[in-house]
Amino acid sequence: MFNSLSDRLTQTFGNLKRKGKLTESDVNATVRDIRLALLDADVALPVVKQFTKVVRERATGAEVSEALNPAQQVVKIVNEELVDILGGETRTIRFAKRPPTVIMLAGLQGAGKTTLAGKLGKWLKDQGHTPLLVACDLQRPNAVNQLQVVGERAGVPVYAPEKGNVFGHDAVTETGEGTRSFGDPVEVARRGVAQGQARQHDVVIIDTAGRLAVDEELMQQAADIRAAVNPEEVLFVIDAMIGQAAIDTAMAFDQGVNFTGVVLSKLDGDARGGAALSVASVTGKPIMFASTGEAVKDFEVFHPDRMASRILDMGDVLTLIEQAERAFDRAQAADMSKRFLSEEEFTLNDFLEMFATVKKMGNIKQLMGMMPGMSQHRAALDALDEREFDRVEAIVRSMTPFERTHPKQINGSRRARIAKGSGVQVSEVNQLLERFGQAQKMMKQMKKGGGMPGMPGMAM
């Protein structure tokens, strides 16, 4: 996800590292590199233009800071502007004053709407809501069935016209009610909402049909559903891998259904993704969620600031901690993150605990990608054998309690002993200690507050 963009930007900033002062030509060269990196990542041209214009102005302007060196200042500016094009503030679902809150999903076929319905349902359920999913995709042969499977996996009930008969305009039987409806998605949506209300679901999520490309009929149907159920939120789901077509598609849906928020799906893919990143800026609508895989758990609230720092390889420890919270005992995990931030010093014991947590969460590579400074280790990360984690654990376990809390005191002979004890090379012990040093620095910076988790990728 945005790996090559991230690598390119990190490299650009790396070139500035040694400069004591930025000349006009430094700024020009940097802006040019940023521009190329964004264009190569498929970020839409008008967005790139505006972005580089502002970065140039701000970098040339009088933002002299005693606290930051020139390279750090440029990163800070790029970070802030990136947060801005990603939509600024984090925003999620607005709930209706009177339930049910209706959320409608729209987007092209294959965008990930049905999958998202399950993820969103689970996310809401975990927060104590009582969502109902409504299957209004009566176009794709298997869509209703797919939503039922998704709902089951997420543990969220589904309102759907019964199998068979749905594709004609014959009367069909609805699940649950035993009443009759038509193969008309607008009618199904209306009844779904009514059922949600009757059965005291406080949120109703409506999955709608998509087409392979934007067409009038599709848009009319979506608009009709919108008009019929008056949703609080209309979420436009877009496949982050569709490239430049993202912009036109987003504009068409915005005109057609006037969506209120965006969901980026398939962010786990290794496509460039920049076009999807432009959607917020081009439409002025916030990106609310990100879908990062096929499983129900592969779902995140989209935080523009965290995404920016991930792209700039500043790490995303907050998301990491949140995922830990979700995967585990909430109280225990909340305690863990609080403790990390309140402790005098982040120690190897915490690191071990964090690793153990990460290990249990699965999808380790994705999680590791959120660690600060990882872009430098991308190749290693790609080649990563998940058994690595057992080795890390073995290394830390071979340390004495004193060493775990005083890692700076681990000298050469201690390193050799630890390596021997855990059956690894000394270089692996060194590597681990170095990685830990970065995490420790990062924690320190986060504790100081200021929201900006330093610039560990730059090791400045």
Residue set of the binding site for GTP: 107-114, 207-211, 265-268
Does position 107 interact with ligand GDP (CB under 6 A)? The reply is yes
Does position 323 interact with ligand GDP (CB under 6 A)? The reply is no
Binding to ligand GDP, residues 258-277 (CB under 6 A) = 265-266, 268
- Can you tell me which of 249, 278, 291, 438 binds ligand GDP, judged by CB under 6 A? 291
Does position 353 interact with ligand GDP (CB under 6 A)? The reply is no
Does position 121 interact with ligand GDP (CB under 6 A)? The reply is no
- 77's CB contacts (< 8 A; 6+ apart) are 55, 58, 59, 63
CB 187 within 8 A of CB 227: no
Binding residues: 107-114, 207-211, 265-268
Does position 129 interact with ligand GDP (CB under 6 A)? The reply is no
Q: At closest approach, how far in Å is the CB of 139 from ligand GDP?
A: 9
Residue 231: asked if its preceding bond is cis (omega within 30°), the reply is no
Does position 185 interact with ligand GDP (CB under 6 A)? The reply is no
Q: At closest approach, how far in Å is the CB of 302 from ligand GDP?
A: 13
Q: At closest approach, how far in Å is the CB of 249 from ligand GDP?
A: 12
Binding to ligand GDP, residues 8-67 (CB under 6 A) = none
Q: At closest approach, how far in Å is the CB of 116 from ligand GDP?
A: 6
Q: At closest approach, how far in Å is the CB of 18 from ligand GDP?
A: 40
Q: At closest approach, how far in Å is the CB of 279 from ligand GDP?
A: 16
Stretch that binds ligand GDP, among 286-294, 319-327, 355-363, 397-405 (CB under 6 A): 286-294
Q: Is the CB of 112 or the CB of 157 nearer to ligand GDP?
A: 112
In this structure, the dihedral spanned by the alpha carbons of residues 314, 315, 319 and 325, taken in order and rounded to 10 degrees, is -140
- Can you tell me which of 14, 99, 183, 293 binds ligand GDP, judged by CB under 6 A? 293
Q: Is the CB of 76 or the CB of 266 nearer to ligand GDP?
A: 266
Footprint of ligand GDP (CB under 6 A)? 107, 109-115, 210, 265-266, 268, 291-294, 298
